[in-house]
Chains A and B, each alone.
Chain A
Amino acid sequence: GNSVTQMEGPVTLSEEAFLTINCTYTATGYPSLFWYVQYPGEGLQLLLKATKADDKGSNKGFEATYRKETTSFHLEKGSVQVSDSAVYFCALIMNTGFQKLVFGTGTRLLVSP
């Protein structure tokens, strides 16, 4: 079946460091890909998405590029802030008919001042 694999956390960084959170997927076909963010005590919020190969999603300084060759959608940010501390979920959904979102297990990011 379709699945998403994320790097284990927590990822611990100092403020202004470069962030990469790895995400790879397995899918029969070409899905749409998403990153969701969950801040402490809140629900999941859509951070960015990409719907086809080579698309780049971006929001709030975060970016991720849909790489079909490596079946990856790694999340990056050039300079993290303490306020970026949260859990980040990678997810996919197939584009044929109605499909359910398939989530990764989440990666916790901790940014210290």
Chain B
Amino acid sequence: DAGVIQSPRHEVTEMGQEVTLRCKPISGHDYLFWYRQTMMRGLELLIYFNNNVPIDDSGMPEDRFSAKMPNASFSTLKIQPSEPRDSAVYFCASSPGQNFYGYTFGSGTRLTVV
């Protein structure tokens, strides 16, 4: 398996623009997670899905952020409009649901909003 695949690896955008981050989880993993990592706040869980259904979005910082999972092999995290304070590394992770497996993380998308 190729692991969790995220795209793009790097994104630079201007303030006010829409940004879409993409994630392909490991086949057969029923859970998908979106995290944000910054120096100031560390690793934050934004939202997670089970069988394509959003279960907990309490970590989504504000209405400018939205996430979808239209099928088992694809998820998006969208920021509209983007702001400089959204600059961070965004990680996607997936899990088969048995807790002792832990999560498998993608390589992340480094977002810079100027």
Residues of A at the B interface (CB closer than 8 Å) are 32, 34, 36, 42-46, 49, 51, 89, 91, 93-95, 98-101, 103, 105-106
Contacts and interface: CB of A to CB of B under 8 A. Distances in A.
Nearest to A93: B99
Contacts, number: 50
Interface secondary structure of B, over-half rule: strand
Contact of A98 (B50, B91, B102): B50
Nearest to A101: B103
Interface stretch (B14-22, B40-48, B60-68, B72-80): B40-48
**Which of A42, A44, A51, A101: most chain B CB closer than 10 A?**
A44
A17 B101 CA distance: 31
A94 B43 contact: no
Given A43-B108, A44-B91, A89-B43, A95 B99 contact: yes
Contacts of B103: 44, 46, 101
Contacts of B107: 42-43
Contacts of A95: 99-100
B102 A101 contact: yes
B104 A46 contact: yes
Contacts of A93: 99-100, 102
Contacts of A94: 99
B75 to A, nearest CB: 15
B105 interface: yes
